[in-house]
Amino acid sequence: MTTQNAPAFLALPTAAARIATTAGAAIALTGTFLAWTWTDEFPGDLTVTGYPGGLQVLALICAALTLLFALSGYGIKGLRWLTPGGTNSPTRLLALGTLGVVGYSIGAISAKLGGVVNLEPGAWVSATGALIAVIASLGLPGDLPLEKDSSPNAWERFRDSLRAPAPKRIKDLPAWAEILIIAGAFGIGLHVFTYGIDTEYAELFIGFLIAVAFGFTAISRAGLIARITALTTKHRNVTVAAALIAAFCFPFTQQNEQYALIGANILIFATVALGLNVVVGLAGLLDLGYVAFLGVGAYAAALVSGSPMSPIGVQFPFWAAVLTGAAASLVFGVVIGAPTLRLRGDYLAIVTLGFGEIFRLTVNALNGVSGPDLTNGSQGIPSIPDLNILGFDFGISHDIGGFTLGRSANYYLLMLVFTGVVVMVFRRSNESRIGRAWVAIREDETAATAMGINAFRLKLLAFALGATLAGLAGTVQAHVSYTVTPEQYQFAGSVPPNSAFLLAAVILGGMGTLSGPLVGAALLYLIPAKLQFMQDYQLFLFGLALILLMRFRPEGLVADRRKQLEFHETGQLDVPPDVPLTDTAAGTTKAGA
């Protein structure tokens, strides 16, 4: 496709397009310092001139990044390091992000206050600047050379903007500098995550999602993510330590108990998703009833927790309750896996789906009427007491170093320890001989069996290990939520964790990777928790997000090199175009295609 029939602005010279993009970003940035509305009834108080607030801050950040990346295209010394993968696509994406935040803000203000008449000039200034930046950025050439056409149209340029650049080799830095870069990256990640959780109203959170989506895609397209990934791969132990330290600092940044509780539940969800990643991501076993193992661990811990509603009436120390929950999940994993793992594909998925439903119906029936009195049926096991480990009561607040940690923060730190254990187990398993055998089974079980791998035994081991890890998380979840009920462990529902959301967290985050399920689980739990007013439409929006992500990034948000090569064209030809092909049957020679 050529640009002969394209709009006139696509034919702008590159220099003019870059100047216009820079000017538009500067105008949008200036507008954020002006009032956007005349009344403070809209959340965030956008009436103050000279002091951005609420959605204005997000628009300010997007406009500033757009301006910074646009300036890097001029070859200014000290800015070229921002864009090792190219300058134009990141600038285009950030301009779209600025327009998205400003446009959404205008729409939200108009909807809440009753029309565009409530807008002040600052909103129109930012919108005009963002629109100029977007239109001008479409005139910038693409960063990736295309095989079919050297002058793609606007849609092709936008599509190629989403493609991750190939990692480039960079000059080695001193080890201390590389470690500082890793620490800084995790510090920025902690700040962004904390800002997302601390958003006090839905309009700000939606604007935050728009800014993060375009911003992350832009810096990924610029090549910065590839550079950080190269450094984290080189310093794996430092990376794991930095991630755990950043996660440890999170509760000390929270003063709202509700936000700390969201963090604790995210860790529970992420840990279970990482356990499912062993089954699905490494071994390639489609398990649709995995949440049942979480329920087994939670019910086992609740029964021995000393709850007055527990039919057993015993109270184990926490370490014994943890072992009980993990052992119960392990037994269930072996019992369910042994007769079913000889199945493959869809048949295995149907059987595991049936197991998840059987578990929920069984614990619902063990109420003393339909069956033995073991789980109190639909009422579940409530009034689970808070933990007390070595005199540390998790149910009360504690002052540590001038910071006050409430109940949710206490359980968050406890769950962080469990997450660290699960991360270590997953990492060791993935790098071991057994992990390589799992990957071989996932790629081609027949070929792996022909090479001498005992596929059934290793699949059963993956199933049992994944179930055990889920049981560990379940023991903490029982105490965090105070109660366990059958409705918490369904295949699908509007509130995670459930089997559908767990599987989606693994696939969207990146199957077979360490950080992918953690990122996917955090997003899939945080978004419904912050957008509760859209609860009736959550499954619809969830499905729409799946479609878009599978279309533009099927390998997941965090993908290894194997998945990137599998889902994207490498641009390599089987036969060079200038090498002739000889047709031996006809005795003629044809040019290679």
Q: Which range among 82-96, 189-203, 460-474 shows the weakest confidence by mean pLDDT? A: 82-96
What does the H/E/C string look like for 81-134?
Answer: HHCCCCCHHHHHHHHHHHHHHHHHHHHHHHHHHCCHHHECHHHHHHHHHHHHHH
Q: Which of 43-57, 339-353, 421-435 has the lowest mean pLDDT?
A: 339-353
Which tens digit of pLDDT belongs to each residue from 260-281?
888 888 889 888 988 888 888 8
Indicate the pTM of the whole model. 0.78
**pLDDT (0 to 100) of residue 126:** 93
Contact residues for 229 (Cβ-Cβ < 8 A; gap 6+) = 167
The residue with greater pLDDT, 589 or 65, is: 65
**Is residue 476 a contact partner of residue 411, using CB atoms and an 8 Å limit?**
yes
pLDDT bucket at 171, cuts 50 / 70 / 90: low
> Which one is predicted more confidently, 404 or 213?
213
Residue 341 DSSP SS3: coil
Banded model confidence at residue 166, pLDDT cuts 50, 70, 90: very low
Q: Select from 465, 477, 306, 469 the least CA-distant residue to 384.
A: 306
What element of type H or E holds 400?
A: strand 398-400
Do residues 325 and 300 lie in contact, with contact meaning Cβ atoms separated by under 8 Å?
Answer: yes
What is the distance between the alpha carbons of residues 476 and 389, in angstroms, rounded to a whole number? 13
The predicted pLDDT at position 565 comes to 62
514 SS3 class: coil
Query: What 3-state DSSP class applies to 589?
Result: strand
Q: What are the phi and psi torsion angles at 381 (to 5°)?
A: -120, 95
Mean pLDDT of the chain: 80
Cross-strand pairs, 367: 373
Instruction: Cis check for the bond before 497: say yes or no (omega within 30 of 0).
Output: yes
For residue 59, which of 116, 132, 140, 129 has the smallest C-alpha distance?
Answer: 129
For residues 162-173, one letter each, b for 16 or more C-beta atoms within 10 angstroms of the residue's C-beta and e for the rest, the string is ebbbebeeeeee
- What is the reported pLDDT for 561? 64
**pLDDT at 145 (0 to 100):** 42
Percentage of the chain surpassing pLDDT 90? 13
133 Cβ contact list (under 8 Å, min separation 6): 20, 21, 24, 25, 28, 66, 70, 95, 98, 99
In this prediction, residue 143 carries a pLDDT of: 58
Model confidence at 1, in pLDDT bands (50, 70, 90)?
A: very low
**Alpha carbon of 239 to those of 536, 557, 562: distances in Å?**
39, 18, 21
pLDDT attached to residue 228: 84
Distance, CA of 279 to CA of 487 (rounded, Å) = 24
Q: Where are the domains of the chain?
A: 12-225, 256-528
> Which of 42-46, 122-126, 402-406 is the least confident region?
402-406
pLDDT for the residue 229? 81
DSSP per-residue codes, 350-383: HHHHHHHHHHHHHHHH-BSSSS-BSS-GGG-B--
pLDDT at 95 over 80: yes
pLDDT in the model for residue 394: 84
What is the mean pLDDT of the segment spanning 34-52?
88
- In degrees and rounded to multiples of 5, residue 369 shows phi and psi of -115, -55
* Alpha-carbon dihedral 80, 193, 216, 128, rounded to 10 degrees: -90
Task: Looking at mean pLDDT, say which of 128-132, 149-153, 451-455, 489-493 comes out highest.
Answer: 128-132
Mean pLDDT on 170-181: 76
Mean pLDDT value across residues 25-42: 91
3-class DSSP assignment, residue 254? coil
Please tell me the predicted confidence (pLDDT) of residue 342.
79
pLDDT-based confidence at residue 234 (cuts at 50, 70, 90): confident
Residues 303-307 have a mean pLDDT of 85
| Rounded percentage of the chain residues whose pLDDT exceeds 70 | 83
For residue 10, the 8-state DSSP code is G
> Contact at 8 Å (CB) between 363 and 297?
no
Residue 60 to residue 49: CA distance in whole angstroms = 14
pLDDT of residue 249: 87
Question: 463 vs 106, 326, 341, 467, CA distance in Å?
Answer: 50, 13, 9, 6
**101, pLDDT greater than 90:** yes
The Cα–Cα gap between 554 and 556 comes to 5
| φ, ψ of residue 373 in degrees (nearest 5) | -85, 95
Average pLDDT over residues 399-415: 84
**Residues 49-86, buried b or exposed e (16+ Cβ, 10 A)?**
eeebbbbbbbbbbbbbbbbbbbbbbeeeeebeebbbbb
- For the segment 254-263, what is each residue's pLDDT rounded down to a tens digit? 777 888 888 8
331, pLDDT greater than 80: yes
Residue with structure tokens 């910065």? 224
pLDDT tier at 66 (50, 70, 90 boundaries)? very high
530 contacts 523 by C-beta, under 8 angstroms:
no
Which CATH fold would you assign to the domain 256-528? ABC transporter involved in vitamin B12 uptake, BtuC (1.10.3470)
Following DSSP, what letter does each residue of 139-170 receive, concatenated?
TSPPSSPPSS-SS--HHHHHHHHTSPPPP---
Q: How far apart are CA 274 and CA 269, in angstroms?
A: 9
Please say if the pLDDT value at position 379 is more than 70. yes
Residue 98 falls in which region: left (phi positive, over 0), alpha (psi -120 to 50) or beta: alpha
pLDDT of residue 30: 94
Among 318-322, 332-336, 395-399, 495-499, the minimum mean pLDDT is found in 495-499
Long-range contacts of 542-548 (CB under 8 A, 24+ apart): 542/504, 546/504, 546/508
pLDDT confidence of 82, banded at 50, 70, 90?
low
What is the pLDDT, as a whole number, of residue 547?
82
Reduced 3-state DSSP string for 182-245: HHHHHHHHHHHHHHHHHCCCHHHHHHHHHHHHHHHHHHHHHCHHHHHHHHHHHCHHHHHHHHHH
| pLDDT (0 to 100) of residue 403 | 79
